[in-house]
Amino acid sequence: MTASRFVKFVALGASILLSLSVAQPASAKAWTPTPGSTLTGNQFMANTAENSAANVTYSVLYNESRADSLCQEIGGAGCGANDRLNGTFVMPVCTDAADTLCISNVAIFKEGSAATPATWVRQIKAPVVNVASASAATIPNGGATQIYSSAVPNASGNTSYAVTAAINVAFAGGKLTADDYSVAVVPFNEKRGGFVGPYISSGQINDYTQPECVFLEDNVCGEIEDFSAGTRVSVTVRVPAVANTFLGGRMTKVDLASARTARGVNLTVTGNPVAVQQLELAVDAANPPAGLEIRRAYAKQTKRFSSLKAINTARGLLANKASGSRTFWQFNNWDGDLVANSLASKCASTAGIKGMFATDALTTDGFVPARDGGAFKVSVNGVLNNPDGKQDAGSVDVVLDSRFARCALGKTSIVTSAPSAARGPGYKATSAKQGTWIKASLNNLRYSGIALITVR
């Protein structure tokens, strides 16, 4: 089994590509990268098109014990329950109280209204990982993206939402371990045409993803839409108990709830979607701007840039105006980053979830703030104006488990602050306590350069 088999859920603000026109915003209903085939001459694409979730919408498992062969049924032919298995599970819907690695609740509702559960419609038609009956009591099935409907329409008037909760898994001796996970809710409309969904042939999965589709089935594209204003989303997933979990999110007005169970943690994340700026540039491969930090560019390629400094370079090339925007509701766990901050083993939390850093900034230097003395700090960046020419009003939300905050910062309450250059009209910092969580928010940030956000 090689590391390339895994889906590594990369930084939420860092998945970035390029496009043909600097002056013209993207024309898609919800912004997606311009295809490389539209480039002319010696141009290549460079942009910041952010992924909606994991880059798979179905479960895929490989058998390390048998030359990395595809595993379609654990305990079935060619895939022993005690073999070494590795891959990615996309969580199905929970069917009973004992289920794990599953989605137990989704609510899509208007802010200020009760969190009425959304209606589950179906699981998309895609490869899954089944489990033979002899192992079903201890090993969960792998599923695919789940489709829900809500009374709240998205920006195009459709009421369909795709929910993808993906997690990296490994099995050894019939025992499951799981670590990196990503959960996203994406509004979509069903577009029909000559689309090809993922399928298994000759022991391999054939997959032809398209950036404008949150999922693909034969003749069907789940064409990505934006959330309508005032939408609020809540998702509960059952995940394994991990001692060092910290979350990074694309949302605002965040609420967290977590409870330990016999098989792990029930985690509920609630928040409002945010609009994240996107940048796209058509660049001469023979003379790419050094500040974009792109190496060895070739004509017709797609390249990504995501660093804080690269955004400063792009700001000048784009006259400080985003070339596109898209709404997101998404979160990942960043356990490895918490370990790197030397807080993993020292500072515990009430139910294993230590907190969340959520923002609509175009990019950050990490979704787990680094400790600096008695404070947490993280830098964010974006461009000043949105595609409509109006100044962006950014947001940052920090939620910490109170037990973790006392250990990490010596605080029972927290406040956030931004430098004066990042304080736009109506800038506001707020803080509150909700049960075992302490919260702080910044609103109306001005993305005019790299801004250091401080949590004390």
Contact 262, 283 (CB under 8 A): no
Contact 347, 191 (CB under 8 A): no
Provide the pLDDT for residue 35: 62
Task: Enter the tokens of residue 149.
Answer: 């409907």
Q: What is the pLDDT along the chain (456 residues), one digit of tens a residue?
A: 333 344 444 433 333 222 223 333 334 568 766 666 678 889 999 988 775 455 689 999 999 999 999 999 999 988 999 999 999 999 999 999 889 999 999 999 999 999 999 999 999 999 999 999 999 888 999 999 999 999 999 999 999 999 999 999 999 999 999 989 999 999 999 999 999 999 999 889 999 888 889 999 999 999 999 999 999 999 999 998 887 899 999 999 999 999 999 889 999 999 999 999 999 989 999 989 999 999 888 998 888 898 999 999 999 999 999 999 999 999 999 988 888 888 887 899 988 899 999 999 999 999 999 999 889 999 999 999 999 999 999 999 999 999 999 999 999 999 999 999 999 999 999 999 999 999 999 999 999 999 999 999
Q: Give the C-alpha separation, 453 to 427, whole Å.
A: 13
- pTM for the whole structure: 0.93
Give the β-pairing of 245-250 and 330-333.
antiparallel
Task: Enter the tokens of residue 195.
Answer: 């689309």
N residues, the chain:
456
Provide the pLDDT for residue 418: 98
Provide the pLDDT for residue 33: 66
Contacts of 229 by beta carbon, 8 Å cutoff, 6+ apart: none
Contact 312, 381 (CB under 8 A): yes
Instruction: Tell me the pLDDT tens digit for each residue of 205-220.
Output: 999 888 889 999 999 9
First-residue to last-residue Cα distance in the chain: 43
Distant-in-sequence contacts of 1-8, Cβ < 8 A, 24+ apart: 1/62, 1/64, 1/68, 1/84, 1/86, 2/68, 5/62, 5/68, 5/86, 5/87, 6/86, 6/87, 6/88, 6/168, 6/180, 7/54, 7/55, 7/56, 7/88, 7/166, 7/168, 7/180, 8/168, 8/180
AA letter at 387: P
Provide the pLDDT for residue 389: 96
Distances (CA, A) of 205 to 56, 61, 62, 93, 309: 11, 11, 11, 23, 38
Contact 24, 46 (CB under 8 A): no
> How many Cα neighbours within 13 Å face the side chain of 388?
6
